[in-house]
């Protein structure tokens, strides 16, 4: 069997597949996020223990050998480790907002735009550039104690295999990698005031690194590959490889990805270009900060269970009886398809007559509008696949098809883990039928009348967003 490991922000999962791509089993463990005053952190030891636990569970009841394993995980943030791969402090998550004032300054003085023109990366508070600069200013002794500033999957890979600390081109893409040379741009490192810390940046394994496991979680000697990180892994797992085709990941974050062979660094600085294993190929990525996390907050606030969402979406009409949500709930603001570190969510049109159904539908519609904004900015011209936890709601998928005005190729199951296996197979020369592994579960068609209604609603969303962005500055 083949195993894919996906080290997510709130959940660590491992999935087993047979050679045809059929998902056999899944094991999952939640992991905690510590949130306080804009600081969003994770305990690395807890994350690694969760990885070992899901692998132990997945392999405990089978004698079938593990042919191959692929590893993916959340991107960005800073995972500072010593030479043995052990944490020197808690990991700063990609959701972290502590560096927002630093980013404000870089936005004002042109540093932000200069970095984008050189690397195709529109920095946000939770990416390594601002975070490392913040640590240099506020916790220099922490950086002194660290050997590497890794990404999540890299920490796991080092501890599973004992291999040297390294990353891949996809994770390295934000914000230091020159997408043309596929190596770090030392001028960007200097521009961010990090020349003294250049040695913390992990070497880039191009193509992705391979090694054999040491015996924790997987049998000793299991072949494993490290990367790509979760966004490009999901694109692989959903079969998004042709230029113009796109993927919408309705997960904790709302990620819009479009495959491209065109590197254009002249547009509005936002999102990033993710370098892929194939030189000359990128994903134009617009990873908005909040997807299902926005709906989770509304459900928690209203006391509604996830199982009730489909019925409540059906209980109120398109437009949610005038309730509107700008779904920018992240404490670090928004990063795609624009960067506004101080932007926050807005809820309008609420009255004593508004119901929980109105709030929930308005939130789902707002997330849909945010997705449309991102996909248009990313240059979607072909087919669109959708994956992530949001696909479990069939009513939300129908709503999304209407808001986006296009068919959705819904790909269910552990798509990131599936993509990690496909990437590992490519590295090891193992022949797998990518078409069979990435076949959609269903195709959801939009309703023409509702799609026309939401096209007008999208224009209203953009107008309200423009006003909110001005207020946030």
Q: Kindly report, residue by residue over 422-441, the tens digit of the pLDDT.
A: 999 999 999 999 999 999 99
- Measured in degrees and rounded to the nearest 5, phi and psi for residue 24 equal -95, -40
Are the beta carbons of 321 and 299 closer than 8 angstroms? Answer: no
Domain-ending residue, one of 190, 214, 232: 232
Same domain, 292 and 224: no
Q: How many alpha carbons lie under 13 Å from residue 241 in its C-beta half-sphere?
A: 13
Number of domains in the chain: 2
Same domain, 223 and 336: no
Strands 39-42 and 442-444: unpaired
Residue 433 lies in a domain: no
Same domain, 306 and 192: no
Query: Would you list the DSSP string of 101-123?
Result: HHHHHHHHHSHHHHHHHHHSB--
C-alpha Rg value of the chain to the nearest Å? 21
Same domain, 210 and 295: no
Same domain, 96 and 192: yes
Same domain, 199 and 304: no
Gap between the Cα atoms of 271 and 241, Å rounded: 19
- CATH classification of the domain holding 219: 3.30.420.40
Same domain, 174 and 318: no
Give the three-class secondary structure for 294: helix
- Measured in degrees and rounded to the nearest 5, phi and psi for residue 178 equal -80, 115
Same domain, 32 and 167: yes
Are the beta carbons of 165 and 147 closer than 8 angstroms? Answer: yes
Residue 251 lies in a domain: no
Residue 272 lies in a domain: no
Same domain, 74 and 153: yes
Distances in Å between the Cα of 17 and the Cα atoms of 81, 339, 392, 422, 432 are 32, 39, 20, 11, 11
Domain-ending residue, one of 215, 232, 249: 232
Confidence (pLDDT) at 257 = 98
Averaged pLDDT in 10-residue chunks for the chain of 473 residues: 96 97 97 94 98 96 90 98 95 95 95 98 95 99 98 97 95 97 98 98 91 95 96 97 97 94 93 96 96 96 97 98 97 90 96 98 98 98 96 97 98 96 97 96 98 98 98 93
Residue 423 lies in a domain: no
Task: Kindly give, in sequence order, each residue whose CB lies less than 8 Å from that of residue 144, ignoring residues fewer than 6 positions away.
Answer: none
Same domain, 314 and 228: no
Query: Would you list the DSSP string of 119-176?
Result: HSB---TTSHHHHHHHHHHH-HHHHHH-SEEE-HHHHHHHHHH-PPP-EEHHHHTTTT
Q: How many residues does the chain have?
A: 473
Confidence (pLDDT) at 87 = 98
* Domain, as residue range, for 211: 2-232
| Three-class DSSP labels, 73-87 | ECCCCEEEECCCCCE
Same domain, 76 and 180: yes
Domain-ending residue, one of 197, 232, 267: 232
Residue 263 lies in a domain: no
Residue 149 lies in a domain: yes
Residue 237 lies in a domain: no
Same domain, 362 and 228: no
Confidence (pLDDT) at 426 = 95
Are the beta carbons of 175 and 77 closer than 8 angstroms? Answer: no
Confidence (pLDDT) at 61 = 77
Gap between the Cα atoms of 452 and 309, Å rounded: 24
Residue 428 lies in a domain: no
Token pair in block for residue 319: 């437009």
């Amino acid at each position: 069997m083949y195993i894919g490991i996906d080290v997510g922000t709130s959940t660590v999962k491992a999935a087993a597949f047979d050679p045809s791509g059929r998902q056999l089993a899944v094991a999952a463990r939640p992991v905690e996020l510590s949130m306080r005053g804009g600081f969003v952190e994770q305990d690395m030891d807890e994350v690694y223990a969760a990885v070992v636990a899901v692998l132990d569970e997945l392999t405990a009841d089978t004698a079938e050998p593990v042919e191959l394993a692929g590893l993916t995980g959340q991107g960005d943030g800073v995972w500072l480790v010593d030479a043995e791969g052990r944490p020197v402090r808690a990991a700063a998550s990609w959701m972290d907002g502590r560096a927002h004032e630093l980013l404000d300054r870089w936005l004002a003085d042109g540093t932000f735009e200069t970095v984008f023109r050189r690397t195709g990366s529109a920095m946000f508070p939770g990416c390594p550039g601002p975070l490392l600069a913040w640590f240099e200013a506020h916790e220099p002794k922490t950086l002194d104690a660290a050997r590497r500033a890794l990404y999540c999957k890299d920490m796991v890979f080092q501890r599973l295999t004992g291999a040297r600390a390294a990353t891949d081109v996809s994770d390295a893409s934000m914000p230091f990698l020159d997408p043309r040379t596929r190596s770090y741009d030392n001028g960007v490192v200097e521009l961010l005031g990090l020349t003294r810390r250049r040695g913390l940046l992990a070497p880039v394994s191009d193509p992705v690194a391979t090694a054999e496991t040491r015996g924790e979680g997987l049998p000793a000697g299991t072949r494993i590959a490290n990367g790509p990180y979760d966004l490009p892994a999901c694109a692989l797992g959903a079969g998004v490889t042709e230029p113009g085709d796109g993927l919408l990941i309705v997960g904790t974050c709302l990620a819009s990805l479009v495959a491209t062979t065109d590197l254009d660094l002249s547009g509005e600085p936002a999102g990033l270009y993710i370098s892929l294993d194939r030189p000359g190929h990128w994903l134009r990525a617009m990873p908005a900060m909040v997807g299902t996390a926005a709906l989770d907050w509304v459900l928690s606030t209203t006391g509604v269970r996830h199982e009730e969402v489909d019925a409540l979406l059906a209980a109120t009409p398109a437009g949610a009886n005038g309730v509107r949500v700008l779904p920018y709930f992240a404490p670090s603001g928004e990063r795609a398809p624009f960067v506004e570190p101080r932007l926050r969510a807005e809820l309008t049109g609420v009255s004593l007559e508004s119901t929980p159904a109105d709030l929930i539908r308005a939130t789902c519609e707002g997330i849909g509008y945010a997705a449309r904004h991102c996909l248009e900015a990313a240059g979607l011209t072909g087919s669109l696949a959708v994956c992530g936890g949001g696909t479990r709601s069939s009513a939300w998928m129908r709503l999304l098809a209407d808001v986006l005005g296009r068919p959705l190729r819904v790909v269910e199951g552990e798509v990131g883990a599936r993509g990690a296996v496909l990437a590992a197979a490519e590295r090891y020369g193992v022949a797998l039928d990518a078409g069979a592994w990435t076949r959609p579960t269903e195709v959801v068609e939009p309703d023409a009348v509702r799609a026309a209604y939401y096209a007008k609603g999208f224009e209203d969303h953009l107008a309200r967003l423009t006003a909110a962005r001005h207020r946030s500055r």
